[in-house]
Each structure stands twice: as C-alpha cells, then as structure tokens.
Structure 1
C-alpha cells in the first residue's frame, strides 16, 4: 500500500550498516612495513572464530544436551548452515518439485559425494507434500561453486518470481503446529521478514474452496518500519486479499474494542459484524538472543553472553501475555524463539502458565509431525549473571535483583530457608519479594543449594537442536486458552513500558491492555544489543533481497498522489491518524467503480467490488492504486474506523487496479489496468477484454514483449486483438478456443492493447520464468506423444491448459 513520505523516529531507526553473515572476515591489506619495504602479500580474510568460552560453559551447565553429545553438538554448530527452501503453493509448485526430483537430485549428486555427503538435496521428511527442501550445500557454496551455478540461478529466479521462498528449516515448523483453519483470524505478532506469515496465508488459502476467498485473514505485525518493507514484499507474492500489515510494538497491540455506548452514538451497533479484534490463532515468535542461528550468523559467536537472554526475558513474557489477551477462548498460540536458552524458553512459558492459572494449558503435541526430531522441554535450569550461577532466587544479591528476576527460575517463587526471617520489602509488603510475588518458606538445610524443579508440564515444550537433523536451533510451545484470563491479567498496568509513551498513544480499555508487572529496563538495553543481529539474521531469509516488486516498483510502495499543484505551490500531504502513513479509505466513487465493472465485464453478484475497494487517497481523481480486500479484512477496517483508527496499517489487501498512463490519454474508456498481483484473484470473474492465445503466440509475446497486430503467428488472432477495446486486456494461454472454466491451472498475463500492437505488462523475470515453465511442459508433452505413438501407456501427462 502507499506510504507517507515523512518518517518518525522509530521508522528512521533502520540498520544502514547491516553486516553480511559470512564465514570470512576482511583483514588489513597493508603491503609495506614501517620502513617502507614490501612485505609478502597476506590473505585479505581470516576465518571467523567459532569459539566462545562463555557459551560453552553456559550450555554445559544448563544440560541442554547430554555430556556424551557435547562434542557433536559443538562440531555441528561450527559448520555453516545448509541452505533450505520452500516451494510456494501455486500453479507451478508441481512443476518446481518435478524439476528438483528429476533434475537436480541427480545432477548435483556428484558434487555431494565430493563434499562427503550422501545426498545433494532432499525433501524435508516432516514437511507436508514435499514442499520443503534441505540442501547439503551452504548458501556460500551455492553462490560460489561453479558446479552449482545452474542450481543457484534456478533458485534465484524462482525466488524472485514468487515460486520459492528461502527459509531456514526450523523456521518452517511453528505454523505447522498452529492448526490454522480457513475461517480463522490469525495474528503474527513479530512477523518480519514474513516467511512464516506466507506459510499462514498458504494454509488459509489452501484449505478454502478453489476459486473463492477464505473467510479468515492474517494480521502481520512488526514494530520496525524498515523490516516491514521486506514483510510486505514477501507476502505480496502470495496474491492475497486476506492480509493486513501493521506497525505496532507487539506488547501494545491494540484490541480495537468498540464500547456499546460509542457504537450506539455512531449508530453502528447493527452494522458492525465484529465489535472487538480478537484472534483464533496467534503466532508469537519473539525477539531473542538468536543463538540458535549461530550457523547462519557466525558473528553471534563473538557477541554472545548470558546477559542477552536475561535482558530479553521480561519483554518476551510481556509479548506472550499480550498475545494471550488477544486470543479468543478456545484458540491456540505458539510461543517460539530461535534461542536454545531456557531463560528465554522454558522460563517464559512457566511464567505465562503461572500468571494465567487454569485459563491456559500447555498442549502436548508429541504425536504431531513424528518425523521431526525434537526434544522435550527442561524442568530444571540455572540462572547465570555477572555475580555467578544461581539455582534459586533466594541466592541472588539485592543489588542484582534488578536484572535477575524471580520469574527466571523454575519455581518462579522466592524460596526461603526456614532459618531466615521474612522481612518487609521496599514496598512495605510482608512475605513479599522485590517484584511483588510472595515468598515461599520451605524447610532446607542451611547453606545447602536449593535445586529447583518446575512442577509445570514443561516437557510438553519442544526444543530442536542442530545436530539432530543438521539444522539450526529452535524452541516451540503450543498454548491453548481454555477460559478467560484471570481478571487481574486483563486490567491495564500502571507501570507501562517506557517506549510505549508516544504522541499517538490513546487511552485503551482494560481488555486492550496486557498486565505487565515486571521490571522491563533490562529488556530494553538487551533489545538494543541484539536487534541488529536478529534483524540481519532474518533479512537473510530471502535468497537475494529484491529491490523491485513484480512490476518493477520499489519495495516500499510510493506515496499516493494526494497532492496537487495550485498556483505553482504544492499542498501539504494529507496524513492519516498515524504520522507518516496515508489514510485508508473505502472507494465510494460509483462512477469509477461502474466504469471498471463495465470495461472488464465483472458482475457484482459474483465478485462484489463496491465496499471491497480501498485506496490511500480521498481524492478519486488522484488515486493511483486501488486495493481489493476480502470480507474479513473489510470488517476489521470498519471496526478500526469505528474505534478511532487504533491500528497503524502499513499495507492492506491486494493491489488490484493501477492507473495507466499512456499516449492515448483520455481516449481510453477505462484508466485502470489490472495489476499482475490481482490478476489471479479477479481472472475467473472477467468476461470482457480477454484474448485466448495458442502456445506459439503466447511464447512469442513473452519473448518479444510487444507484437504488432499483423505479426501474430495466427492471423486470426491479430484481428481478435484489433477487436479489443483500447486499454488493458488479459491474454490467456489456450488452444485458441474459449475455455469452459478458468481455474487454478490457467496461465494468463496482463497486456496493453495499443493502437497498433499488443504489449505485455509483466517483468522480464516473470517472462523468463514463464517461458522456462512452458518449455518444460512442452517437452513433457512431446515425450508423452512419442511414448504414446510407441504404445507406451504410461507417458507423462500433457500440459494442462485452460
């Protein structure tokens, strides 16, 4: 969606000096000594050190892996992460899988053997339908090895056009445990760079009826404005009208609750399908120290320390509690991190369960995805601080309790010896500790260390360790909300997170606040230390982060033309509620909508446009892009307007129409063309401006990008093109006859019918990819024909066409 040009402080805070996660570090290239004499040329790089004594001491003490596995654990951690990728569910997914299975599995085998591997690439056994693949080559090998050049070019092209997503294997796991249905409202709280969001959208669309939009939707949120650009770019390839992208701090994500009094004042009580924004599923993949990504981001080796996890613990609890408060009763939430640290993992889950009591349960999913090797969560661990190791909160000195919290320990309580005397805390409470929790007095032998063991079913959590399946590290817990949270958890917290005090903040109702009664200052400092590492780790999710979208535009879609020149002076751009974001408005210009419907022959009863088209400019004459939103997104937008636009929306819906500037000027009956993203959704409902093209002419268009009417291979086709109205049209690959039905296998492109020629309106990369897919299918068809003529009844199926 369009964006404003002004940027707030948080939006400007992006990572200009992002480091490259490589396994070689530049060195000085001095070639003379102090006397000016030449010295032998030194290598311009040195290997990154994969060693950190603090890391080894910490994880040996925590017992994350058994002592006999330690050497193998460290050996795997020091090796580069094998590349993994996922084939996106679209009309070409079967073709891509076929190429992987029948071409690259065999052609790359020799290189795999040379590198000491049994297999070059293979599908991940636990991912459905062979859509996810594991390579035994690192990303650097794929980029640099000449033998792998063809494979590398294949991956780059398919990633660029949206047929494939570069994603770490363990990162694909959380959405599979969320049990998403097509009618679910799903919140991805910390969504950038968008790989998991893409999976969630695939699940929602894949389970719905073909040719229909699902009733569910996904809200993808990320606090960082810059990172949300990549999120928008990633999800754009899904071609979905069921997505809203927002920019909020996850712990302050608004609940958008419409009070009855306010609804009656506005006369909205009967018209509002929903009066509160709540979700059936929540994915809470929180910011973390990221030590599970050491193999992908080796820079973490030199930066890692135990304080990173300690500092983030409070923020992680806050985020998870906010996620649960937004979750509907009966819904499920995934809490996950790419850290192996129990302070960020089991300790957070334990604190969640203690706060929520019987209203939330930890789900046992050990019978799901049986081929995924995972380990049960820990029930006992220690806390490391500058002052040393602590097994119980009672051992933490008073001057360290600002950074070491009682919730970090397995019991979550301040266990006291019977010989000690309970004293009043600084708040004047009796039998209380610093953070307000009650002390528990137990009989214990003086000076005997207290080894705490959690009484919660934390073994139901799962930890993925690198040496089990040659992956990164990951932690996942599945939570089920069985009843409303305790009342005290739903009330606003007077001690708000300092960073949430902004000029745009509004008073929220109790249900819109999560209870946060913890010291969050350590989390803030830790976030600053590890945010860069996490950001760069996740930015590497795509093979080559693209600077252009599918139609050659900047990733950050430009601001709508909501200003005009009057007397040579430019008007001040209109802003929405949120500074730097243009307003979202429903398009209500019936004349404009009717012109689009008439031009493309769209019947409103089959594909309603009115009430589903939005723009980011209230001036219809200046609107450049029109977006289509599903019924569920429409309802959320209506609610957001009613509650005073509490949602800070960066992108919404699917870009369906774009204003076309052409030499013909005002002679065009319709000024808006169909965008390439929106074409797959609207295609079944178009009845005009369609040209059915046989294979020869379709390829001809893709190769030359523009064809004059007399130059078509089929002369009759040139005449049909002339008969089209000047403006946008859709060219469908077929045998030249009108198909009975347009379905998911239909191949079509947007074109422009000019005065003398027909030109394609897709990128060069899309044209190249389509040509390769068609060549592959044509080859199969020809082989099938030859086999059929020889009496072979088992030849490959001919290419599907509309």
Structure 2
C-alpha cells in the first residue's frame, strides 16, 4: 500500500510475459491500442480481496453495520498512516444494498498488524458461518482435505469476485427451477440459493429450487461443503458431465415444470452455464497461466463449450433464460460459441440486451469480428483453412460460421505447404511462439458477424480492477427445431435436436484433444472453469429435445453406442459407486414420535418431505428435509429409473443422538443446527425462552447446571422438561412472557440437550463465539470494541474476569 521498504511485495507487477498472448489479443482488438499498456499493467497485478454478505443470514445487518461503522474507519486509518490515497475498504457501487465489498489489502498485508489481522479473523469467522461468501476458493480441487478447506477458502485473497455477476443477470425469482451446470466450488450456487430465499419468511420455503451439478466427485464434495452454510432444503447436488445431464422425461405425455404434484419432464426456468474454459481472464490470481498460454487451449475447448451450452438450451423452458459465461477473453470460447448456438437454434433462442441491467457495472460490448489462430497461422474465414486442418479449425469458430462442404477444396491460397505443416507437427513446434506475429493474415477483410453479438457483456481488468469475464444472456423464445440426421453406423433416420448437429457428414461433434492438453491449464483454474482431461476426450451424445411435441427416442446406452461407436459409454445411472442411495423416509413410528415429542404443529408438512441416505430405515442416523419442489423432482427421478446421480439433497433436520443418554430419551432424534431455523416456528414443546444473561452463560460455559442459572424460574422450567433435545431462544429481559413463543426472522435460538442435572449446548464452538459477539453488537453498539478492539490483550486473569463481568452487565442492561 505504501512506498519504500514497507511496500508489500505482493502488490508489485508480476514479471511475466508471453509474446504470443500479446500478439493474439492485439490482433483481436480486445482493447484499443491506446489502452493496451493499462490493460496489461492491471492484468499482471495481483487481484484485491472481495466478498459478499449473505442477505439471507440472520446476522447480515450486523455484519454490514460492523463493516460500515467499524472496519471502514479503522482500515482507512491504517492506509492514511502509510500515505496512500487508496480506499482500504468500500462497498461495490453496482451491487445492491451494500452487500458486496472490495478491499485493497493483500493477504500478506492482512497479517502485518493487529488492525488488519482483526479484519482477517473477522472474514474467516463470518465465512465459516455462512454470513459472508468469498466468490472463489482457489486451488481446492483434486486431493484436498476438509481440515484445510476453510484455511484455503479464507487465506487466498486473490479472488475472482466477478463470479457473482452471472447469477445477477439470470433474474432468478423465488418460484424458479434453476440449474447450475458446472457449479463447483459453489459460490455461484450459494448466490442463486440466496436469491431464491430472499423473500421467504421464517419457517417457510420458496417454491423454487436449485440443482447444482459438477462432473468431478471431489469438486461435488467441495460444492456441498460450501452450500451447507446456506442451510437450505431447496438444493440437489448432482454428479454428471454437463453435456450428458439427464433429461428426466416420462413418456406419458408432454409436460412442463409447473408447481404440480406430478411432473413428467424436468425443464428449468433459469440455467447458469459457466463452462470450462482456458481461464486467461484469471491471470491476476494465477500468473503462471500466462507463461503457459497458447491458442490451442481455447480452440480445443470450443466444441465442448458449444455442446454444454446446447444441452443447457435443450433443458430450458420456453420463455426461460440461460446465462453463458467464461473467465476467458478468447472470442473463440465466447462470441464464437454464442454465435454457433444461435445458428443451431434457428431463431428459437434470442440474445438478450442487458445494457440497462446493473447500470453501474462497467462493461464492454461483445465482439462482432475476430480472427482464428492455428499453428502459427491466422485466418479470417473458414475458406482460408487448409483441408488437412479442418478437423481442428472448425467453421463454427469464425464470425459467420459456415460449412466446409461449401468451401472449394483447394490449397492454392495457402501460404505454406502441406509438407511444411506436417513437418512442424512432427517436430513438435507449437503455436505459442513469437512466429505467430511473423505470419501474414490470409485476407485483409475480416468477417463481421450478422448476429447481435454486441449484446454480450465483456469485463476487462482495468475498467474496475477485476479479472476478465464474458457473459451472454440467452432467452428461449420457442421450442428447438428438430432435424433428421444420418449417422455413420446407423442407417435409420433419427429425430435429434439441433444441439447435436455435427460439423461435417458424421453429424457428431468432436473435441480436439490434440490441440488442448490438460497440462496447458493450471490447477488454479479447476475450481470453476478448468477442463478435465476426460472432457477433452469425450464425444457428446444426442440429447432429448424436451421442448418438441414430436416423439423422441429415449436416451439410453444402446442408442449412444450406435451414434458414437468406439467412444466411452455413459455411466449407468442406477448403479453409482460411492454415492449413497436417496430414499423417502416413511417410518411412521419414528415420525410420529418426533412430532409428539416436539409438539410440531400440523402446518409443517412431513408427508413425503423426509428423505434418508440409507436404504435400511431402521438404522438411519440422519433425516433430511426437502422442499415441495425437490420432493417433486425426486419423485420424477424415481419414476424415470433414478437417472440422477445425487451427491447431496435436502437439509439435515434430525440426527440420532447415539450416546447413552440418547438411547434412554423418549425421542433419540435431536433437531440439528442447520434445520433449526426452518422448524423453530412450528415447535410447541421442549422449547424455552432464556434471559440474555442465561443465554450468554450457555454459550460461554456450554454446560450449566439447573441451579446455576441466574433466573431461578428458567432453571425450574428446564428441570421440568422431558430428557433429550430441547430448544432455547433468546428473550428480552426477564422471561415473564407466556408460552408459546412468537418466532420471527430475528429470533435467535440454539439446540440443547437436557440431562439429569444440567443443560448442554449442542452448538459448535465457532457458532457460540459468533453468537456471543452478535449479542454484544445488538445489545450496545456503542461498546462494540469490547470484543473486537483488543489491540493490547491483558494476561492478567483478574482483568479478564472483570472484563467478562462487564460484558455480561452490558448485555443484561441493554435488554
């Protein structure tokens, strides 16, 4: 931040260059020549920290208040000390309600002094509790361990915060069915769920739902870890290749995804299609990617991106909206993909103009002209591509698309001979050298796309100190066209949607692994957008056309084998190794005992809303609650033969207490912390209101004997409860108010276990710490510094006890 010796080395420009990158993007006119130096200067500077406040959290107002009234001033004072004109911490102007924040401190700086370390600890605590969300957990796929997950999420402050932009263009409503096709690590899914829940009241659930999908099992685990903090019953996490995402279509009759008890086809109102990409917009957090950059990576991913996008379109309702996005600057992965999708959909898809949405977000229009580079050559039209490179350089990469069937098969215009090109391949010459700049362009006039690609959104780093990003908002205006294709091995005509039209006579889209190896993309990018090696080798399959009224042949392994002979088979969807089954929990004895023990009112629906992950219901340890929308989708999934590979579903609401005390309790199932906010308004038994001082004692000491409560009446009421789980909510002053309790969104409650002589909190230590701090903030904002401003901690036990007593007095007096 400051100058001289105190300057943080992480803030300096990264000494990394790649002439091929410079030449490629200068030729593409991503930015004007006058801007190039500014563009590169920001692109090679580490990314600042950023985070979002979870608007659905009960502590969101407190967190925002703490940022506005405490950290803005204290951190800015630190900046002033170092003679810097930079704002230390500020809300992002384009994100509503001051819920998104941007900090110019790097990771190392946050550890330098007590003020910054305090902010760092604040971020770690609130992130783990789900009150804030970091938009990307960097380098956490592959062989990660859960014990390192939180540390890695928080300590890497080089974040891709602009990842929060695509969900905002989706225009999600609370009743929408949403699909996140490539969801890991979960920050975007968390944001979608947050939007879905915004209008829900305590004890109720939105009518919509989110299916979050990822092809990698370990990334699914990370996705589950991230979204678990949302405590939602409206989420299903699935493990599929996005291009093979199941259609779940019953052949009874055509149907749409309505709020019916019985649905026959799974279509979505909104789809987020954040596809695997080369990730060259992420250099600010992964600078080594720049050294490895070459044009082949983007070219090799082009087809996969088209296939995933078309699969998304086929799963989209008519009238629905899909956002296609990448963290790449490459037009081959961006505008070229969007243009090809629009061409294949033949008017059934519209590119939406979103220039009036998020007006304070600085963005640039999409490109309408670009060049295609391959092995040191650049082409402005598919007519220029030699025949022997046409399996690599595809017509869809060019602004106007086209077909090689319409191109005169001649090499007379080539500047190099076939023999020279083959020699280059044999010698291993790549396209990432300076020789690209030495080869002339085939034509002087570049093709200009006739499609309105300027409606796409481009974010470049130097406009607002971000990474680079691309967004296209697509709306389905009519069913997809159905065409007839003839495959190599199958002479029968088959109806398939335009999602699977091929590039040549085979009518099968091919990925080009020879031009894009897995090693070309750093592990740093695998969180949201890195292509898996399997992606680059798989041949896509024909999908169902969910929108057509014409009969479709069901998708099955035999059909796939006919269409793509010799390729790997799709995994059987009813036999998933390592994935527990999903079963509806219908043990009436257990359900009735839970309802009777907690006095759960009839307004809380149980029938069909409880699921377990153990086929033997007599040995179930955890019971999950699902919303009506998720229930309907699960029923459809069972009806179509369990096509979904479900990694996680629903909200853990009840858990068997396995201790000796649990076995002797009238009801061995306790209410979980995750499920408490949902069920709390419906509980009429085993629930008490505690005074602030007794509530704080529970949080501080974890276990309190009945006779030791400050309020004797409260201790008596606890003693009279049935043994087992009970709920304690925070009251105001004394507990003279009659039961039953009135619960709303602001009610704070915790689960406890009532034993023979004491009450024990069943809340994690980190949650207890957060609640204690929230009590102080809500009780007396003028004395917020008691817990947060401890720049000179005392080691005197007497001083600590005196300070603790002062805190107790503050809380009790304020209430």
Query: Using the alignment, how far apart are the partners of 1:121 and 1:260 within structure 2?
Result: 57
**Do structure 1's residue 285 and structure 2's residue 274 form an aligned pair?**
yes
Cross-structure match for 1:683: 680
Cross-structure match for 2:426: none
Residues 46-82 of structure 1: per-residue CA shift (max 9 Å, x gap): 9964221111111111100011010000110111101
Residues 335-365 of structure 1: per-residue CA shift (max 9 Å, x gap): 0001111111100000011100110000001
Following TM superposition, by how much is the alpha carbon of 1:119 offset from its aligned partner in structure 2, in angstroms?
0.9
| Shift in alpha-carbon separation, 1:47–1:362, aligned structure 2, 3 A | closer
Cross-structure match for 1:433: none
Find the partner of 1:138 among 89, 106, 119.
Answer: 106
Q: 132-141 vs 764-773, which deviates more?
A: 132-141
SS of corresponding position for 2:670: strand
Query: Using the alignment, how far apart are the partners of 1:61 and 1:648 within structure 2?
Result: 44
SS of corresponding position for 1:731: strand
Cross-structure match for 1:85: 51
Q: 168-177 vs 629-638, which deviates more?
A: 168-177
Cross-structure match for 1:521: 511
SS of corresponding position for 2:236: strand
| Shift in alpha-carbon separation, 1:337–1:800, aligned structure 2, 3 A | farther
**Do structure 1's residue 608 and structure 2's residue 574 form an aligned pair?**
no
Following TM superposition, by how much is the alpha carbon of 1:229 offset from its aligned partner in structure 2, in angstroms?
1.0
Find the partner of 1:109 among 76, 82, 87.
Answer: 76
Superposed, which structure 2 residues align to 1:378-397 within 5 Å? Answer: 378-397=367-386
Query: Using the alignment, how far apart are the partners of 1:418 and 1:631 within structure 2?
Result: 54
| Shift in alpha-carbon separation, 1:155–1:399, aligned structure 2, 3 A | same
**Do structure 1's residue 127 and structure 2's residue 125 form an aligned pair?**
no
Residues 722-767 of structure 1: per-residue CA shift (max 9 Å, x gap): 1111111111001323475201100011111111111111111111
**Do structure 1's residue 178 and structure 2's residue 144 form an aligned pair?**
no
Following TM superposition, by how much is the alpha carbon of 1:146 offset from its aligned partner in structure 2, in angstroms?
5.1
Query: Using the alignment, how far apart are the partners of 1:493 and 1:121 within structure 2?
Result: 59
Cross-structure match for 1:594: 592
Residues 623-678 of structure 1: per-residue CA shift (max 9 Å, x gap): 01000000000000000000000000000010000010122253210111111111
Q: 199-208 vs 136-145, which deviates more?
A: 136-145
Residues 124-174 of structure 1: per-residue CA shift (max 9 Å, x gap): 111111111011123343245554111101001111111111123211101
SS of corresponding position for 2:745: coil
Query: Using the alignment, how far apart are the partners of 1:365 and 1:55 within structure 2?
Result: 30
Q: Does the aligned pair in 1 maintain the 2:74–2:115 contact within 8 Å?
A: no
**Do structure 1's residue 761 and structure 2's residue 729 form an aligned pair?**
no
Q: Does the aligned pair in 2 maintain the 1:493–1:513 contact within 8 Å?
A: no
Cross-structure match for 1:50: 16
**Do structure 1's residue 295 and structure 2's residue 292 form an aligned pair?**
no
Query: Using the alignment, how far apart are the partners of 2:633 and 2:74 within structure 1?
Result: 50
| Shift in alpha-carbon separation, 1:527–1:487, aligned structure 2, 3 A | farther
SS of corresponding position for 1:745: coil
Cross-structure match for 2:476: 481
SS of corresponding position for 2:347: helix
Cross-structure match for 2:344: 355
Query: Using the alignment, how far apart are the partners of 1:625 and 1:598 within structure 2?
Result: 19
Query: Using the alignment, how far apart are the partners of 1:778 and 1:654 within structure 2?
Result: 31
Q: Does the aligned pair in 2 maintain the 1:746–1:801 contact within 8 Å?
A: no
Q: Does the aligned pair in 2 maintain the 1:411–1:455 contact within 8 Å?
A: yes
Q: Does the aligned pair in 2 maintain the 1:290–1:534 contact within 8 Å?
A: no
Following TM superposition, by how much is the alpha carbon of 1:529 offset from its aligned partner in structure 2, in angstroms?
3.4
Following TM superposition, by how much is the alpha carbon of 1:457 offset from its aligned partner in structure 2, in angstroms?
0.2
SS of corresponding position for 2:512: helix
Cross-structure match for 2:555: none
Superposed, which structure 2 residues align to 1:630-779 within 5 Å? Answer: 630-735=627-732, 736=735, 737=737, 738=739, 741-779=742-780
Find the partner of 1:225 among 209, 212, 217.
Answer: 217
Gaps of 5+ in 2: 1-7, 136-159, 413-440, 531-572, 785-810
Q: TM-score, normalised by structure 1?
A: 0.79
Q: Does the aligned pair in 2 maintain the 1:614–1:628 contact within 8 Å?
A: yes
Q: Does the aligned pair in 1 maintain the 2:261–2:632 contact within 8 Å?
A: yes
SS of corresponding position for 1:389: strand
Query: Using the alignment, how far apart are the partners of 1:579 and 1:511 within structure 2?
Result: 32
Q: Does the aligned pair in 2 maintain the 1:186–1:218 contact within 8 Å?
A: yes
SS of corresponding position for 2:45: coil
Superposed, which structure 2 residues align to 1:119-268 within 5 Å? Answer: 119-143=87-111, 147-167=115-135, 168-209=160-201, 211-260=203-252
| Shift in alpha-carbon separation, 1:685–1:531, aligned structure 2, 3 A | farther
Residues 263-295 of structure 1: per-residue CA shift (max 9 Å, x gap): 9xxxxxx99610011100000000111111111
Query: Using the alignment, how far apart are the partners of 1:625 and 1:390 within structure 2?
Result: 59
Query: Using the alignment, how far apart are the partners of 1:532 and 1:674 within structure 2?
Result: 43
Cross-structure match for 1:28: none
Following TM superposition, by how much is the alpha carbon of 1:112 offset from its aligned partner in structure 2, in angstroms?
2.9
Query: Using the alignment, how far apart are the partners of 2:472 and 2:30 within structure 1?
Result: 16
Query: Using the alignment, how far apart are the partners of 1:237 and 1:191 within structure 2?
Result: 16
Q: Does the aligned pair in 1 maintain the 2:13–2:41 contact within 8 Å?
A: no
Residues 81-126 of structure 1: per-residue CA shift (max 9 Å, x gap): 0100001121110110111011111101133342734311111111
Query: Using the alignment, how far apart are the partners of 2:458 and 2:499 within structure 1?
Result: 30
| Shift in alpha-carbon separation, 1:206–1:417, aligned structure 2, 3 A | closer
SS of corresponding position for 1:488: strand
Following TM superposition, by how much is the alpha carbon of 1:182 offset from its aligned partner in structure 2, in angstroms?
0.8
Q: Does the aligned pair in 2 maintain the 1:307–1:385 contact within 8 Å?
A: yes
Superposed, which structure 2 residues align to 1:415-494 within 5 Å? Answer: 448-488=443-483
Query: Using the alignment, how far apart are the partners of 2:323 and 2:617 within structure 1?
Result: 42
| Shift in alpha-carbon separation, 1:241–1:343, aligned structure 2, 3 A | same
| Shift in alpha-carbon separation, 1:419–1:615, aligned structure 2, 3 A | closer
| Shift in alpha-carbon separation, 1:111–1:623, aligned structure 2, 3 A | same
Residues 676-702 of structure 1: per-residue CA shift (max 9 Å, x gap): 111111111111110210100111111
| Shift in alpha-carbon separation, 1:66–1:630, aligned structure 2, 3 A | same
| Shift in alpha-carbon separation, 1:756–1:529, aligned structure 2, 3 A | same
| Shift in alpha-carbon separation, 1:331–1:665, aligned structure 2, 3 A | closer
Q: 395-404 vs 407-416, which deviates more?
A: 407-416
Q: Does the aligned pair in 1 maintain the 2:692–2:812 contact within 8 Å?
A: no
Query: Using the alignment, how far apart are the partners of 2:755 and 2:358 within structure 1?
Result: 54
Q: TM-score, normalised by structure 2?
A: 0.78
Q: Does the aligned pair in 2 maintain the 1:655–1:677 contact within 8 Å?
A: yes
Q: Does the aligned pair in 2 maintain the 1:257–1:512 contact within 8 Å?
A: no
Residues 532-561 of structure 1: per-residue CA shift (max 9 Å, x gap): 535455599xxxxxxxxxxxxxxxxxxxxx
Q: 138-147 vs 205-214, which deviates more?
A: 138-147
| Shift in alpha-carbon separation, 1:235–1:287, aligned structure 2, 3 A | same
Cross-structure match for 1:36: none
Cross-structure match for 1:7: none
Tell me how large the CA RMSD over aligned residues is: 3.2
Query: Using the alignment, how far apart are the partners of 1:338 and 1:492 within structure 2?
Result: 36
Residues 507-528 of structure 1: per-residue CA shift (max 9 Å, x gap): x996798556454331587363
Q: Does the aligned pair in 2 maintain the 1:577–1:583 contact within 8 Å?
A: no
Following TM superposition, by how much is the alpha carbon of 1:385 offset from its aligned partner in structure 2, in angstroms?
1.2
Q: Does the aligned pair in 2 maintain the 1:781–1:799 contact within 8 Å?
A: no
Query: Using the alignment, how far apart are the partners of 1:395 and 1:322 within structure 2?
Result: 30
Cross-structure match for 2:304: 315
Residues 427-453 of structure 1: per-residue CA shift (max 9 Å, x gap): xxxxxxxxxxxxxxxxxxx97544100
Q: Does the aligned pair in 2 maintain the 1:181–1:207 contact within 8 Å?
A: no
